[in-house]
Amino acid sequence: MSEVTRNMKVLVPLPQRRVYELRGPKKVRDILKELGMPAESVLVIRGNDLLTPDVTVPDDAEIEVRPAISGG
- Site residues (CB under 8 A) for other proteins, limited to 4-63: 13-15, 38-43, 45, 48-54
Write phi, then psi, for 18 (nearest 5 degrees).
Answer: -140, 145
Contact criterion met (CB below 8 Å) for 35 and 12: yes
Contacts with other proteins by CB under 8 A: the residue count is 23
Residues 6+ apart with CB under 8 A from 27: 53, 54, 55, 56, 57
Pick the closer one to other proteins by CB: 7 or 52.
52
* Nearest-approach distance from CB 19 to other proteins, in angstroms: 15
Is 33 strand, coil or helix? helix
The nearest distance, CB 48 to other proteins, in angstroms, is: 7
Instruction: List residues near other proteins by CB under 8 A.
Output: 13-15, 38-43, 45, 48-54, 66, 68-72
